[in-house]
Amino acid sequence: MRDLEKSFGDVHVLRGVNFDVAPGSIFALLGSNGAGKTTLVKILSTLLAHDRGTADVNGFDVASQAGEVRESMSLTGQFAAVDQILTGRENLVLVAKLRHLDNPGAIADSLLERFSLTDAASRAASTYSGGMRRRLDIAMSLISGPPVIFLDETTTGLDPEARLEVWRTIRDLARGGTTVLLTTQYLDEAEQLADRIAILHDGRIFANGTLSELKALLPPARVEYVEKQPSLKEIFLAITGQGRSRDTKETS
């Protein structure tokens, strides 16, 4: 992604975003509410047109090769996009059919198994808990095994247990060779999962590196009685400048 820009009217949300994601890695895009994470993911998944700059997914340009991009990636949006009236199994069969795969029923069954939804397979998705719905949502994204997957604040609103489950799924995906770009406003999530972390703030990437590289960005000279590794939270606050004022708002 090179010099990507996007405005909504007067609001200049993305002001020249640059980054690369290595194939098969987990890349976390960290930013507080309203930073532009969803906007960026929507541009990458061809849902939104950008104003300036270029972006490639799996080697295909999002603007001129949208069809190839859609073949290459799958999106799990900020809000679970499952059909509430259909059953879990019907949701999966629907996506498998739309991807023109042979044997949609068998594909659905194996994903239900993998996401521990077999028992709930024939219940309407509206009866699912938040965690189950999210699992179904991710399962729908994995049909056809796209090389790239975008996860937009996938764990927001999940209870801690469901969150750990989603984390496990994401790690499995990367181990299987899938490139994962996830957005989050939870610092620990980025810290736990990502090979590289980029911080999106004021429409730009403020820092981009591994966790230890980001830690190295902090001024080392600190006199403290107890030696303490800076947490990603401190790095984040220092970099975005929010740490300086004491009226720091917790990201919600």
Partner 1 sequence: MTALVADTRTLTGRSLRHLLRSPDTIVTTAVMPIAFMLLFVYVFGGAITTGTDSYVEYLLSGILLITIASGVSYTAYRLFLDVSGGIFERLRSMPITRASVLWAHVLTSLVSNLVSLAVVMIVAFAMGFRSGADVIAWLAVVGILVLFTVALTWLAVVAGLLAKTQDGAIAFSFPLIFLPFISSAFVPTATMPGPVRWFAENQPVTAIVNTVRGLLAQEPVGGDIWVALAWCAAILAGAVVAAMAAYRRRTG
Which stretches of the chain bind Mg ion, using CB under 5 A?
37-38, 78
Three-state secondary structure along the chain? CEEEEEEECCEEEEEEECCCCCCCCEEEEECCCCCCHHHHHHHHCCCCCCCEEECEECCEECCCCHHHHHHHEEEECCCCCCCCCCEHHHHHHHHHHHCCCCCHHHHHHHHHHHCCCHHHCCCEHHHCCHHHHHHHHHHHHHCCCCCEEEEECCCCCCCHHHHHHHHHHHHHHHHCCCEEEEEECCHHHHHHHCCEEEEEECCEEEEEECHHHHHHCCCCCCCCCCCCCCCHHHHHHHHHCCCCCCCCCCCC
Per CB under 8 A, 70 contacts partner 1: yes
CB of 213 to partner 1, least distance (A): 32
Return the residue of 3, 5, 90, 195 that touches partner 1, per CB under 8 A.
Answer: 90
Q: Which of the listed partners (ligand ADP, Mg ion, partner 1, none) does 33 bind, with a CB threshold of 5 to 8 Å by partner kind?
A: ligand ADP
Return the residue of 11, 22, 49, 216 that touches partner 1, per CB under 8 A.
Answer: 49
Return the residue of 11, 23, 61, 98 that touches partner 1, per CB under 8 A.
Answer: 98
| Segment near partner 1 (CB under 8 A); pick from 46-54, 106-114, 175-183, 191-199 | 46-54
CB of 78 to ligand ADP, least distance (A): 7
CB of 138 to ligand ADP, least distance (A): 18
